[in-house]
Amino acid sequence: MTALTELTIAEARDALRAKKISARELTEAYIAAVEAARPLNAYVTATPERALEMARASDARLAKGEALPLEGMPLAIKDLFCTDGVPTSAGSRILDGFKPPYESTVTGNLWRAGAVMLGKTNMDEFAMGSSTTTSALGVTENPWRRRGDNCPLVPGGSSGGSGAAVAARAAIAGTGTDTGGSIRQPASFCGIVGMKPTYGRCSRWGIVAFASSLDQAGPMTRSVRDAAILLKAMAGHDPRDSTSAPNPVPDFEAALTGDIRGMKIGVPEEYRIDGMPAEIETLWQRGIEWLKAAGAVPVEISLKMTKYALPAYYIIAPAEASSNLARYDGVRFGLRVPGRTLDEMYENTRGEGFGAEVRRRILIGTYVLSAGYYDAYYLKAQRVRARIAADFAEAFQRCDAILTPTAPSAAFPIGEKQDDPIAMYLNDVFTVPVNLAGLPGISVPAGLSSDDLPLGLQVIGRAFDEETMFRVASVIEAAAAFKARPPFVAGEA
């Protein structure tokens, strides 16, 4: 039979219920894979003992015929989710030694659904980045390589650890968070599925905050069906997050009918940006053809504000971050660097605890919120944000879902774009507008670049209509038939 670590969640679910495999066997295979994947530095903390304990409980429930929806599924958890008694770093020195005495709502939901925790995965510090190179815990490598070139590539970011782990078969699936593309861009770079839900679909409680009006947790998986299964368990109303939506959680998996006949698919002309490689444009066209062949109708739409989404984001996100990150003061948790006075202790702690990119963003956020600049920067960005949201609302009068590329390039070498923050920010040009508008978006692996790197297509849905988005994504997935595997797979020499 297929190696245990090749199974999707849907396949493992069937195998577990048919008693062809046990949760213990599946978990043990993944614990070995986590070990074998060490060269990638995808995990920052492995929790094999906890995993085995959870697998034992899963086997007990399976034996009684009381299997839960995610029974026995070994998951990688981004190190931004607070996990009870397990170190949570957010990729930052300033959270050195922090062990939350509580569990985030989303991870709690997963464990209550029977899932197994393999460990915590690396990320850009405080989720600020598109490369997983800014973590205080080291750089994560993408398991993919360009053809004939052994140069290590970034896995994308900020959820690059989960992306690399899932792609390298060192987790059956993972969690990520997405503030401007941090699930979808690494999914595209790693050749997996990554999905950002509608803002409010998943509780933010217990997730280390970056930009609270944009942050959303979501699944990173090896199939669209798995993303649908995982999201159902992650999502749901939580009174502890006032922005958590009281909407019922649909059975997303049931939406995967494959029937998109008559559906209107928006194609935004403004996404044809200068300098985008021709192969990405070609892949996008192919995606449109696939949907057309399945009976959907492509419609040209206009998202006029697209080019202003990134600059608006780089006011709003740093402004919110500068406020959120004020809590790291060396008093209640994490790093403390002594000083003679309280102020000096704050300054020393934050000076040494934050890395270069986080510091840059806190300073920008502080500046745009400071007296005299608030209207010119912050309020201006919020007005542009309103226009971006209005663009999408207007587009969705004419279409049911939108198809775009996920990112303007494939994975790039580690070390590239480090000296030019704006070049790094441009990675998120196609994903950021979706966060600003609070919409659901999913990246599906759709093909390979000329040098054999995965490329993703993004499907954007209406707010709280993940079902249509999933349905379209599953048609892309079936047509693309993406079967390529990364050169590095855990446990394969």
Partner 1 sequence: MALDKATVARIATLARIKLPEAEQEHLAGELSHILTWIEQLNEVDTSGVEPLASIAAADLPMREDVVTDGNCHDDILTNAPAASGGFFTVPKVVE
* Catalytic (active-site) positions: 78, 158, 182
Q: Which of residues 12-71 bind partner 1 (CB under 8 A)?
A: none
Task: Say which residue the tokens 């990638």 belong to.
Answer: 40
Q: Which of residues 450-479 bind partner 1 (CB under 8 A)?
A: 463
Residues 6 or more apart whose Cβ sits within 8 Å of residue 450 = 279
Binding mask 112-151 for partner 1 (x = CB under 8 A): ----------------------------------------
Query: According to the binding rule CB under 8 A, does residue 374 interact with partner 1?
Result: no
Binding mask 151-180 for partner 1 (x = CB under 8 A): ------------------------------
**Helices H, strands E: what count in the chain?**
15, 11
Q: How far apart are CA 443 and CA 224, in angstroms?
A: 9
Query: According to the binding rule CB under 8 A, does residue 302 interact with partner 1?
Result: no
Query: According to the binding rule CB under 8 A, does residue 387 interact with partner 1?
Result: yes
Residues 6 or more apart whose Cβ sits within 8 Å of residue 481 = none
Query: According to the binding rule CB under 8 A, does residue 483 interact with partner 1?
Result: no
Task: Give min distance, CB of 177 to partner 1, in A.
Answer: 16
C-alpha distances in Å from residue 337, one per residue of 136, 139, 182, 255, 342? 16, 25, 30, 52, 11
Among 17, 272, 383, 398, binds partner 1 (CB under 8 A): 383
Instruction: Residue 112: name the closest of 76, 138, 73, 162 by CA.
Output: 73
Segment contacting partner 1 by CB under 8 A, of 58-66, 106-114, 241-249, 266-274 = 241-249
Query: According to the binding rule CB under 8 A, does residue 312 interact with partner 1?
Result: yes
Among 24, 360, 418, 487, binds partner 1 (CB under 8 A): 360
Coil vs helix vs strand at 196: strand
Q: How far apart are CA 58 and CA 51, in angstroms?
A: 10
Binding mask 320-349 for partner 1 (x = CB under 8 A): --x------xxxxxxxx-xxxxxxxxxxx-
Q: Which of residues 188-227 bind partner 1 (CB under 8 A)?
A: 199-200, 213
Q: Is 66 exposed, middle or buried (0-12, 13-18, 19+ CB in 10 A)?
A: exposed
Among 60, 363, 478, 484, binds partner 1 (CB under 8 A): 363
Report the run of H or E that residue 477 belongs to, with start and end. helix 466-480
Query: Residue 392 in contact with residue 385, Cβ under 8 Å?
Result: no
Residue closer to partner 1 by CB (options 421, 487) is 421
Residues 6 or more apart whose Cβ sits within 8 Å of residue 140 = 40, 41, 42, 121, 122, 132, 133, 154, 155, 160, 161, 164
Among 8, 302, 366, 449, binds partner 1 (CB under 8 A): 366
- Count, residues near partner 1 per rule CB under 8 A: 69
Q: Footprint of partner 1 on this chain (CB under 8 A)?
A: 97-102, 199-200, 213, 239, 242-243, 245-246, 305, 307-308, 311-312, 314-315, 322, 329-336, 338-348, 350-352, 354, 359-360, 362-364, 366-367, 370, 377, 379-387, 389, 421-422, 437-438, 463
